[in-house]
Each structure stands twice: as C-alpha cells, then as structure tokens.
C-alpha cells in the first residue's frame, strides 16, 4: 500500500471528505482511516511522550497492542493512554510452563461454529506437550489439545500466517547408555501441523535420518527446509497423509480420541522413498532470504573470502543479478544485515551502521536476461573524519587507530522497523553524548527515506544490552534487557497545544 507518494501532505479535513465519499467498502474505509492517522501523526504540533514504564525479571513480549509479562501470564493492553491490565493468570508449575506462543486473528470471510472463534486468541505450547487456545482479551481457556507422549514439542512457527502453523520438537539424541547398548532411533524430530480456524490437526510427521545427512539445524514446512550444519540448505518434500479430526476416534490410535491424554495425535504423515531436492545452496550460517519480484534469493557463500558480502541470485536458475553482490565494506563489531522489505514490494533493505540502502530488483518474470539490482533510495549518516585533535595546552595529538563504524560514541543506525498500516519506517539512531547513550527514532517515508518526524527517547540506550523497538500506529515501544532484568518503555503521541483547526 503506497501512501503519500507526492510531496504535499493532505490535511485531515480533505481526508475526511474523501473517506465519506468511499465509505461503502471496508478496505477503502480502513485505508482512509490510516491516512488520517498518518496525517495527524506527522503534524508539527504533536509529539511523543513517555507514558508508562514497567520492569520484569522475565522476558517481555509485545504483540498486536498487547504486552505480556511473566511468561505470558500477565497481559496489558496498550491501546489506551496508559496500559490497562487485561488479565493475570495463576502461576504454572515447571511442567506446565509455556514454551512458545502464537497470536491468532479470526478470518473475516469464514463463518465459524463457535462465537469465540471470531475473536483474537493465543496458541500456547506448554512443557508437558499441551497446546492451549486462550482468549487474547481475558486469558480464558477456549480449547486444549494433547500432542504426543513420544517426544517433547517446544517451538511454534507460522507456516502460512493465520492459516496453518507447525510445532517442532527438540532433536532426539541417543543417551550414552543407548549408544553403549547399540540402540539407535530412526527419527530425529517430529513436526506437528495444524489448521488455525477452526483448530484442527493436519497431522504429525517423523523426520527420519534418511531424509538427509545429520546433524540437522532446522526443518520447516510445507516445503521441507532442511538446514544442515555443513551450511547446505535444501527445499524438498511431498508426503501422504491420513485425515484426522479433533475429538473423534482414529484407527491409528486404536479408536481412541484424537487430542486426548495420553494418546494425543498419531503419526499420520508418511514419506515414501527419497525426496527430490527442489533447491539447494551452500551458505554461511544457514542464512537464506527468499523474495522479490521476480523471485530471488540472498545468501552469503561459506568461503571466508566472501564473508561480509551478500549475493542476490534468481531462484529460477541461480543466475547472479547485475550488481548482485552487495558489500558495505564497513568496519564494525556487528556485520551489516540484509533482508527483503516486509512491505511485500519485493525491495531489499541493506542495513549498516552508517548507511541504509533500499534496493529494487528490475527484471521480467519469463525473461532469459539477468535481473538488475538498483538503488531505490539511501539513508546515510554523514560523519566528519577527525584524526587529529588539539589539547588545551595546544599540543597536537594524532590518532593511531580509527573508530569503529558502530562505535557507541558516534551517530549510528541501530535498527529499522516498518509500520505497514501507515506506511512509515522507524529508524533508530544512537549517539553517545558525554558518555551517555541516547537514542532517536526517526519516522521516515517508506518510498523516499525522507524524515518526517524525529522522536528523542527519554531513557538511556546502552549498546551493551539487548534492545527491541516496536512501532504500532501512534505508539512506540522500547523493550531493553538490563543484566537479568527487562524494562518496558511506552511512548504515545499527544498534542502540544489545543488543536482548534481539528
């Protein structure tokens, strides 16, 4: 969704008139509402102020306007000026500890059997292999499914967002006693696949050692993405399966009920024969990004001579794109990063300590000519190179070493976050002034990089700690980890003065 491509910013009165003219379609109405919100957000007489701070001894999670403390047991809504507590669940035992969580939104195009299915919910995986569906607003238990007694499931991942998800188990390894006795397992891990609305299992798949050489790092679905520790990444798979239904008996369980304790869900997906490899590439650190228009992939070859470079190739035939080797040649503790833009435009964001390049792939879908990588726009921090300083006594001192590009004492790009509803980029810049780390969030145009607003965060930004930033409509959330503690900071927009024109 491309907003505000022109130089002129429309005022709210004009946008309200346009909204009233196109109010028949829900999508159009939402788009106009977001245009109005963006116009208000970028007004000169409005500013962001810190409204709330809270610390915790456990990790803090932010998702879709909700803040989760105490391992998802304590939930606040930050849709108000000051966050309000939605619910607080009782403490769980170690066996019932929540391992991972996904947030589900109900589909608008489906009519579901239960009214609760039409409201946001949380999928929570516990250490005892139970999958719970909880209300996102009240924490009420809506549904629970026992997965399996055969393995320990620990990770939740979206397969197709809000449509299907999968649950991955930990890798199965032989104990020293089993190895001494010559006992070996034929499978390495299990993969459970579910539909979301309504919650129904597709089934459970055993990942066998015969799928590829061990050890595995990751396995994903529906195309098996098998990452080996020798830097190979391959896409493969088609399987056969028997249909299952929650709450109904299955012959695979001896006519016991699917999803009940202690039988859970049977292994009903079988792989017959060897799987054809659809795509394979050797890469550094198992890192491959796939996207673009037409389809391309980005990777770093495993050879040491290619470290710090990013190669962009066609997914169809592996042809290197023109200007397809991107290298920022920066000297920093943390290397530059690259990824496909989350706005689904097919562009690429190449992120470094002093430069952020937004790149575009030019190419035709069925053309035999290689695609070309061109710069869409660039955001840069301009620094003065000062190698000689003069002391108070007049003595000239020449520096023997240059500072790192991401030195905390200099202005440095730290992260970039995309807000899809109002089509803005939030770019975090830090600068160590008088030995104190300060951070500024710049709201930039997604199509030109132009700075619309700059927000100075009140709290200090210490680069030795981990930081996360979330930009959600008119709210900026900063979560930091200080040693063993976590701290949540929320900044909301407010008006500097009465807005008579509105």
Q: Is the pLDDT of residue 431 over 50?
A: yes
pLDDT higher than threshold 60 for residue 220:
no
Q: What is the pLDDT averaged over residues 28-37?
A: 80
| Residue 115 to residue 118: CA distance in whole angstroms | 6
Over residues 151-166, mean pLDDT: 85
**What are the residue ranges of CATH 2.40.128.630 in the chain?**
282-382+404-498
Instruction: Tell me whether strands 200-208 and 267-270 are parallel, antiparallel or unpaired.
Output: parallel
The CB-side HSE value for 263 (13 A sphere, CA atoms) comes to 18
Task: Name the least confident of 401-415, 438-452, 471-485.
Answer: 401-415
Residue 129's pLDDT is what? 95
Among 30-44, 100-114, 161-175, 227-241, the least confident range: 227-241
pLDDT at 481 over 90: yes
- Residue 405: which pLDDT band, with cuts at 50, 70 and 90? low
Sort strands 164-169 and 240-241 into parallel, antiparallel or unpaired: unpaired
* Per-residue confidence (pLDDT) for residue 399, from 0 to 100: 60
Residue 415, burial from CB neighbour count under 10 angstroms (0-12, 13-18, 19+): middle
Judged by average pLDDT, the poorest of 118-122, 325-329, 492-496 is: 492-496
CA-based end-to-end distance of the chain: 26
Instruction: Report residue 330: phi and psi, to 5°.
Output: -100, 150
Instruction: Answer whether residue 500 shows pLDDT above 90.
Output: no
What does pLDDT average to over the chain? 82
Q: For the segment 128-150, what is each residue's pLDDT rounded down to a tens digit?
A: 999 999 999 899 999 999 999 98
pLDDT of amino acid 464? 87
Q: Which residues contact 179 (CB under 8 A, 6 or more apart)?
A: none
- Residue 230: what pLDDT? 40
pLDDT at res. 501: 41
- More confident position, 226 or 161: 161
- The confidence band for 308, taking pLDDT boundaries of 50, 70 and 90, is confident
Does the domain at 282-382+404-498 match CATH 2.40.128.630? Answer given as yes
pLDDT value, residue 496: 57
In the DSSP assignment, the letter for residue 370 is: P
Spatial separation of the C-alpha atoms in residues 492 and 82, rounded to whole Å = 9
Q: How far apart are CA 294 and CA 365, in angstroms?
A: 5
Q: Is the pLDDT of residue 186 over 70?
A: no
Which of the residue ranges 17-21, 240-244, 288-292, 448-452 would you say has the lowest mean pLDDT?
A: 17-21
Residue 18 banded pLDDT, cuts 50, 70, 90: low
Tens of pLDDT along 72-83? 999 999 887 789
Percent of the chain residues topping a pLDDT of 90: 45
The residue written with tokens 């849709």 in the block is 79
pLDDT of residue 498: 38
% residues pLDDT > 70 (the chain)? 79
pLDDT band at 420 (very low <50, low <70, confident <90, very high): very high
Q: What is the pLDDT of residue 235?
A: 47
In the DSSP assignment, the letter for residue 171 is P
């Amino acid at each position: 969704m491309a907003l505000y491509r022109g130089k002129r910013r429309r005022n709210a009165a004009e946008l309200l008139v346009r909204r009233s003219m196109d109010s028949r379609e829900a999508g159009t109405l939402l788009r106009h509402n977001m245009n109005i919100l963006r116009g208000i957000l970028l007004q000169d007489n409005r500013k962001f102020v810190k409204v709330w701070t809270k610390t915790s001894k456990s990790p803090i999670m932010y998702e879709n306007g909700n803040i989760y403390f105490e391992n998802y047991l304590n939930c606040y809504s930050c849709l108000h000026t000051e966050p309000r507590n939605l619910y607080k669940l009782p403490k769980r035992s170690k066996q019932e500890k929540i391992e991972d969580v996904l947030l589900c939104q109900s589909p608008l195009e489906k009519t579901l059997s239960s009214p609760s299915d039409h409201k946001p919910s949380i999928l929570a995986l516990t250490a005892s292999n139970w999958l719970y569906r909880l209300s996102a607003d009240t924490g009420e238990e809506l549904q629970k499914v026992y997965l399996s007694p055969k393995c320990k499931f620990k990770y939740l991942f979206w397969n197709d967002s809000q449509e299907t998800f999968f649950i991955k188990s930990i890798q199965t390894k032989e104990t020293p006693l089993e190895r001494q006795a010559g006992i070996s397992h034929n499978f390495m891990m299990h993969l459970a696949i579910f539909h979301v609305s309504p919650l129904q299992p597709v089934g459970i798949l055993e990942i066998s050692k015969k799928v590829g050489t061990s050890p595995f790092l990751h396995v994903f679905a529906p195309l098996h993405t098998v990452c080996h520790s020798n830097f190979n990444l391959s896409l493969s798979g088609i399987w056969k399966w028997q249909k299952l239904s929650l709450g109904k008996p299955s012959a695979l369980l001896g006519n016991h009920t699917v999803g009940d304790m202690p039988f859970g869900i049977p292994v009903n997906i079988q792989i017959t024969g060897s799987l054809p490899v659809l795509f394979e590439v050797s890469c550094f650190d198992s890192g491959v990004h796939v996207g673009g228009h037409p389809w391309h992939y980005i990777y770093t070859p495993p050879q040491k001579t290619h470290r710090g470079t990013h190669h962009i190739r066609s997914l169809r035939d592996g042809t290197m794109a023109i200007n397809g080797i991107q290298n920022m040649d920066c000297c920093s503790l943390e290397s530059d990063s690259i990824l496909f833009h989350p706005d689904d435009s097919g562009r690429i964001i190449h992120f470094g300590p002093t430069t952020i390049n937004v790149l575009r792939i030019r190419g035709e879908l069925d053309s035999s000519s290689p695609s070309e990588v061109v710069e869409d726009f660039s955001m840069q921090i301009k620094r003065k190179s000062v190698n000689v300083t003069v002391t108070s006594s007049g003595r000239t001192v020449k520096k023997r070493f240059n500072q790192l590009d991401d030195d905390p004492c200099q202005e440095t790009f730290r992260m970039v976050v995309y807000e899809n509803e109002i089509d803005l980029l939030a770019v975090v810049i830090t600068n160590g002034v008088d030995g104190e780390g300060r951070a500024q969030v710049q709201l930039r145009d997604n199509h030109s990089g132009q700075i619309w607003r700059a927000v100075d965060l009140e709290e200090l930004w210490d680069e030795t700690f981990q930081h996360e930033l979330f930009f959600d409509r008119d709210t900026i959330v900063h979560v930091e980890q200080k040693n063993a503690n976590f701290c949540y900071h929320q900044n909301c927009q407010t008006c500097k003065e009465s807005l008579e024109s509105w």
